A and B are shown apart, each in its own frame.
Chain A
Amino acid sequence: MKIRALFIIGVALALLTGCAGAGVFADYREVEQLEIIRTIGIDKGPEGVTVTADTGVEEDGRAPKLFRTAAPTLSAALEQLQETPRGRRMVFAHTEQVVIGETAARAGLAGYLDYIERATEMRIGTGVFIVRDGTAEDLLAACAGEGSSAADMLLFLKTEIRNMGCGFVYTCGDIAAGLASEGCALAQAVERAPGETVTEEERAMVRPAGFAVLAEGALAGYLTEEESRGAALLLGKVERDDMTAAAESGTAALSFRGAGMRVRPLFLGGSLDRLSVAVRTEAAVKEASEGLTLTAAETRRALAQDLAARETERAAAAVARSQAMGLDFLGLCAAAERASPLRFGALRDRGAADIGTMTVEVTVSAAVRRTFDVADPFSVRGKGA
C-alpha cells in the first residue's frame, strides 16, 4: 500500500509542475456559449477562400444567422470566424452539409476534403453540394429568412432526394474515396430556385440540379436532368420516381423504383466485346386514365415496356456521357471487375479497361407489380355504356 501511495504522490507532484499544461481544459466549453453551424458555404474569393457559415433556423423559428469571412485557406477562414468576438464559440460538429460554389469547385476541392477529413470536429459523413451557376454565399443568403434556411432545405434534400429519383447526396468520404480509387466522383448539384410566394416576402429555395462530375479533384461538368436520372437509376439511388407511361387503352402514372445495375463483361475470343449493363425496375400504378384496362396483362406489359424504353434512354444517356468524358463516374468498370474478378480484373490491372472506348449495352427492364387498391379505373358513363 505504501509503495502504491508513493507512486501516486509522485505522479501527482509531477502534475503540479509546469508539465501539466492545459490538459483537457482547453476543450471545455459551456453549452450556452456555442453557436451551432449547420452548413458551411465555400467560394473562391480574391483572398483565396470565402466561407459562409449558416446556423440554420433557430429553435423558435427565427431566421438563421449567417457569418461570412475570407482567408487564404479554409482552416484559416474558419479560425477567423472563431476569433471574431461574438460572445459565442462556433461549433462545427453538427455541420451536416458543405456547399461549394461552382467557381471554387472548378478550381479544385481536394483541399477542402482534406481539411474535413483532418478536423476533429467535422465528419467525413458530411454531405457535399455544388452550387450550379452560382455561389454558396448567394444561395445561403437568398434562402435565409423567418422559418427557412438553406441548411434546413439541404438537410431535407439529403433524406428525400432518393424519393425524387434525380440524384443522391454524396458525402465527403464518398467523394474522397471515389477520387482516390477511380479518379472521378459524382456530387449533388443544387441551384437557387424562385420561392413560392406565400407572404409578401419572396424567398429563394434550393432545388436539385442533377449530378456534378468531379475529376482530378475539381468540377469537370454537369449531367443534364435526364442523364442524372439515368445515373441515379444505374447507381441504385432511386427509391421512388414517377413517370407517365402509355398503353393502347390509355395512360397511367407510374411510381417505380430501381434495383441497381448488374454489369457483366462479355468476352469474345479472349478480348472484351462489350459491357452488358442491366437494371430492373418495378412499378406501381398511381393514377390511370379512364378506360385503361389494368387487369389485362397486355396493358400492364405495354406500360412496363414504355417505362423501360424511357428509362433505357435515360440510362444510356448517362453512360454515353460517362464515355464522352472518359470518366467512369458510374463505376461500371468496378462493377464489371466484381462480376469477373480474374479476366476483367486483369484488364484493369493492365490499364486496358478504358470506359471511353468500350462498348456498353444498357438494358432496363420493368414490371408493373401492383396498383393501389383500385384495379381498373371506374367508369363515368353509367351502366349503359
Chain B
Amino acid sequence: MAENGKRPAAGLADALRATFADCYDLETRTIAVGGAGGLAAELFYLDGLVSGGDMSDYVLRPLTERARFRGARTPRAAAARIMAGAVYDFNARLAPDAAAAADDLLSGFCCLVFADGTAVSFEVKTGDKRAVDQPKEEKVVRGSKDAFVEVLKVNTMLVRRKIRDRQLKIRALELGGRTRTKTALVYLEGFTNEAVLREAERRLRAIDAEEVLSPAVITENIADRPRSLFPQVLVTERPDKFCLNLLEGRVGILADGLPMGFLVPATFAQFMKVPEDHASHFLIASFLTALRYAAFFLALILPAFYVAVAMYHQEMIPVKLLRSIINAKQAVPFPTAFETLLMLFAFELLQEAGLRLPNPVGQTVSIIGALIVGQSAVEARVVSPVVVVVVALSGICGYIMPDLDMGSGVRILRFLLVLAAILAGMFGVAMGFTMIVYHLAGLESFGVPYMSPFAGGEGKHLSRALLRWPMDRKRDREPELRPGRER
C-alpha cells in the first residue's frame, strides 16, 4: 500500500491498461518503492516475455530495499536513484510516455509506473529461445557448426564473436508496421562502399509491409529485379559465411525473428561458393567450385538437351546407345516430350512431398518415391529408363547448388528449356539459353553487375570466381564491390 494508502493516479498506468485491454498476458503488481510506506508504484509486464526470476532478483528486490531509496521522497527522486544504479538491472531507461512504455513492454521490459506518471523500464527478457544449433540447409563437413537463430541479439553476438573489429558497425532499424521487427544493418566501416550502404538502408526503410515474418519480405523488397527467378540477395544461415562476406565489403542485414542473414550486393559467382571452400585444400576447393558450375549447367540444360537430341538430332547418339534407347522405348506409349515432362513433374512432386512431411517420414517418402515411382514406371513401360536417368541426374545436379533459391530458379527454367527443345530442338535450346544469359547479363545488385567477374569488369579477376587461391597469396577484395579498402 502506498504512503497515503492511495493507488497511483490515472494517466500513464491507465493508458497502458487501455493499450493492453483484452490482453490476458498483461500483469501488474503494486509495490512500495523503498519498502513499506514508500512511494506507490505499479509494475507492468507481459507474462511470457519476461523472466520472473530476473524480475524478482534484479528489479523487485532492490526496489523494496529501504536503504537504497532513503531520502527519495518524490517519484522523480526515486527515478533518479534508480537511473543512478539503485536497481541492479543492466538496462534501465525512462519511458517518456505511454507509447514508449508500451513498446518497452512489448520488447520484454517491465515498466515501473509512479503515481505522477514517471515511468522507468527494466529489461528482463526471458531466456527462452532456440539454442544455437547446427545449420540445417548449409551443411559442411569441416568448418564451424553454428547457425543463426531467431533472436537478433544472439545473431549479432555470433557475428561479433567472429569479427572483433571496432570497425564492425551494427545500425538498428525497425521494419514492419505491425510486427515492428528490429532489424540490423551490419557492415565494416571503411570497407563497405558508402553508396551501397546508403542504398541498402534506403531500400530497407522504404519497405512498406505490415509484417517481417518471412525472408521474402526483405529479399523481394530490396532486390533490384524481384521478378527475376535468379536470387539477388544472398541468404545464409551461417555466421561464418555472413562474416566472410562482410569482410569482402558486403552489407549484411539481420532481422529479429528470422534465423538467417542477408547480404548485398550479390553476384552469380557468390551463389556458387560455400564456406567449406576455405576449409579444404585450395586445389580441391577449386575443383569443387568448377564442379558446381558444371552442375548448374547440367541441371539447367540436361533434360532439354536430351529432348532435343532424342526428338530431332538422334545422329548425336552412338549407335549402341541409340539401339538400347530404341529397344527400351518400344513399348512406351508416350512420346519423348511427354515422358520427360512427366518425369520432371514427378520429381518436383517428390521433392515437395519430402519437404512438407516430418523429417523421418519425409526421407522415407523420398527414397520410396524415387525407387517405387521410378522403378515401377520403367517396369510398367510408362517411361523409358533413359528419361529417369536424365531427370534424376539433372535433379542431383540441382541439389549441388549451394543456394536454395538458385536451385529453385533452375528447376523452373529447365521446364522452359524443355519446352523450347520440344518446339525447336537444339535451336530452341540454344535460343533459350542465350536469352537466359541475356537476362542474367541485365541483372544488377546494388549497382554491381550480377555476372561479374564474368562480365561487366575488366576480366582480370575471373579466376576469383572459378578458383580458390592459396591463403598465403595476397588477396584483394572484389573490385566490383568498390570496397573502401582493396586489401
Distance (Å) between the CB of A198 and the closest chain B CB?
A: 24
Stretch of B46-54, B197-205, B252-260, B309-317 with 4 or more beta carbons under 8 angstroms from chain A? B309-317
Report B316-350 CB contacts with A as 1/0, cut-off 8 Å: 00011011111101101001100000000000000
Report B30-57 CB contacts with A as 1/0, cut-off 8 Å: 0000000000000000000000000000
**Complex Cα distance A126/B336, Å?**
29
Q: In this assembly, does B425 line the interface, its C-beta being within 8 Å of a C-beta of chain A?
A: yes
Closest residue of A by beta carbon distance from B426 = A24
Q: Range of interface residues on chain A?
A: 10 to 19
Q: Let me know if B319 and A94 touch, CB within 8 A.
A: yes
Report A-chain residues with C-beta under 8 Å of the C-beta of B332.
32
Closest residue of B by beta carbon distance from A33 = B326
CB within 8 A of A31: which of B319, B325, B424, B425?
A: B325
Q: In this assembly, does A4 line the interface, its C-beta being within 8 Å of a C-beta of chain B?
A: no
CB-CB under 8 A for A93 and B315, given A36-B323, A59-B320: yes
Q: Let me know if A30 and B336 touch, CB within 8 A.
A: yes
Report B-chain residues with C-beta under 8 Å of the C-beta of A59.
320, 323-324, 327
Report A74-113 CB contacts with B as 1/0, cut-off 8 Å: 0000000000000000010110000000000000000000
Q: 8 Å CB contacts to A: which residues of B228-244? A: none
Q: Let me know if A27 and B425 touch, CB within 8 A.
A: yes
**Complex Cα distance A93/B329, Å?**
20
Q: Let me know if A28 and B311 touch, CB within 8 A.
A: yes
Q: Let me know if B320 and A31 touch, CB within 8 A.
A: no
CB within 8 A of A91: which of B310, B314, B425, B427?
A: B314
**Complex Cα distance A94/B322, Å?**
10
Q: Let me know if B315 and A32 touch, CB within 8 A.
A: no
Q: Let me know if A36 and B319 touch, CB within 8 A.
A: yes
Q: In this assembly, does B1 line the interface, its C-beta being within 8 Å of a C-beta of chain A?
A: no
Q: In this assembly, does A29 line the interface, its C-beta being within 8 Å of a C-beta of chain B?
A: yes
Report B-chain residues with C-beta under 8 Å of the C-beta of A93.
314-315
Q: Let me know if B322 and A29 touch, CB within 8 A.
A: no
Q: 8 Å CB contacts to B: which residues of A6-43? A: 23-24, 27-32, 34, 36, 38
Q: Let me know if A58 and B312 touch, CB within 8 A.
A: no
Q: In this assembly, does A121 line the interface, its C-beta being within 8 Å of a C-beta of chain B?
A: yes
Q: Let me know if A34 and B423 touch, CB within 8 A.
A: no
Q: Let me know if B329 and A31 touch, CB within 8 A.
A: yes
Q: Give the one of B315, B327, B329, B335 with max A CB within 10 A.
A: B315
Report B-chain residues with C-beta under 8 Å of the C-beta of A38.
319
Closest residue of B by beta carbon distance from A30 = B335
Closest residue of B by beta carbon distance from A155 = B319
CB-CB under 8 A for A32 and B330, given A24-B423, A27-B312: yes
Report B-chain residues with C-beta under 8 Å of the C-beta of A91.
314-315
Report A-chain residues with C-beta under 8 Å of the C-beta of B323.
36, 58-59
**Complex Cα distance A93/B310, Å?**
13
Tell me whether chain B's interface is mostly helix, strand or loop, or mixed: helix
CB-CB under 8 A for A94 and B327, given A24-B423, A31-B310: no
**Complex Cα distance A23/B332, Å?**
27
Closest residue of B by beta carbon distance from A24 = B424
Distance (Å) between the CB of B312 and the closest chain A CB?
A: 5
Distance (Å) between the CB of A15 and the closest chain B CB?
A: 11
Q: 8 Å CB contacts to B: which residues of A45-94? A: 56, 58-60, 91, 93-94
**Complex Cα distance A36/B322, Å?**
9
Q: Let me know if B311 and A30 touch, CB within 8 A.
A: yes
Report B-chain residues with C-beta under 8 Å of the C-beta of A23.
424
CB-CB under 8 A for A32 and B424, given A91-B315, A94-B315, A121-B315: no
Q: Let me know if B427 and A32 touch, CB within 8 A.
A: no
Q: Let me know if A24 and B425 touch, CB within 8 A.
A: yes
Q: 8 Å CB contacts to A: which residues of B387-438? A: 423-425, 427-428
**Complex Cα distance A38/B319, Å?**
9
Q: Let me know if A31 and B326 touch, CB within 8 A.
A: yes
Report A-chain residues with C-beta under 8 Å of the C-beta of B312.
24, 27-29
Q: Let me know if B314 and A29 touch, CB within 8 A.
A: yes
Report A-chain residues with C-beta under 8 Å of the C-beta of B327.
59-60
Report B286-312 CB contacts with A as 1/0, cut-off 8 Å: 000000000000000000000000111
Report A-chain residues with C-beta under 8 Å of the C-beta of B424.
23-24
Report B-chain residues with C-beta under 8 Å of the C-beta of A121.
315
Distance (Å) between the CB of B420 and the closest chain A CB?
A: 11
**Complex Cα distance A56/B323, Å?**
11
Q: Let me know if A29 and B329 touch, CB within 8 A.
A: no
CB-CB under 8 A for A34 and B320, given A24-B424, A24-B427, A59-B327: no
Report A-chain residues with C-beta under 8 Å of the C-beta of B324.
59
**Complex Cα distance A149/B324, Å?**
18
Distance (Å) between the CB of A376 and the closest chain B CB?
A: 47
Report A-chain residues with C-beta under 8 Å of the C-beta of B315.
91, 93-94, 121
Distance (Å) between the CB of A4 and the closest chain B CB?
A: 12
Distance (Å) between the CB of A243 and the closest chain B CB?
A: 36
Report B-chain residues with C-beta under 8 Å of the C-beta of A36.
319, 322-323, 326
Distance (Å) between the CB of A232 and the closest chain B CB?
A: 28
Q: Let me know if A29 and B330 touch, CB within 8 A.
A: no
Report B191-228 CB contacts with A as 1/0, cut-off 8 Å: 00000000000000000000000000000000000000
Q: Let me know if B326 and A34 touch, CB within 8 A.
A: yes
Q: Let me know if A31 and B322 touch, CB within 8 A.
A: yes
**Complex Cα distance A31/B334, Å?**
11
**Complex Cα distance A242/B322, Å?**
38
Distance (Å) between the CB of A348 and the closest chain B CB?
A: 40
Q: Give the one of A23, A24, A31, A58 with max B CB within 10 A.
A: A31
Closest residue of B by beta carbon distance from A120 = B315
Distance (Å) between the CB of B341 and the closest chain A CB?
A: 15
**Complex Cα distance A382/B256, Å?**
96
Report A-chain residues with C-beta under 8 Å of the C-beta of B319.
36, 38, 56, 94
**Complex Cα distance A93/B309, Å?**
13
Q: Let me know if B314 and A31 touch, CB within 8 A.
A: yes
Closest residue of A by beta carbon distance from B422 = A28
Distance (Å) between the CB of A89 and the closest chain B CB?
A: 10
**Complex Cα distance A148/B287, Å?**
46
Q: Let me know if A31 and B423 touch, CB within 8 A.
A: no
Closest residue of A by beta carbon distance from B319 = A94
Report B-chain residues with C-beta under 8 Å of the C-beta of A31.
310, 314, 322, 325-326, 329, 336
Task: Give me 9 A-to-B residue pairs in the complex whose CB atoms sit less than 8 angstroms apart, sorted by A's number.
Answer: A24-B427, A29-B312, A31-B336, A34-B314, A34-B326, A56-B319, A59-B323, A60-B327, A94-B319
Chain B interface (Cβ within 8 Å of chain A)?
310-312, 314-315, 319-320, 322-327, 329-330, 332, 335-336, 423-425, 427-428
Interchain residue pairs A-B with the least CB separation, the first 7:
A93-B315, A59-B323, A32-B329, A94-B319, A24-B424, A32-B330, A27-B312
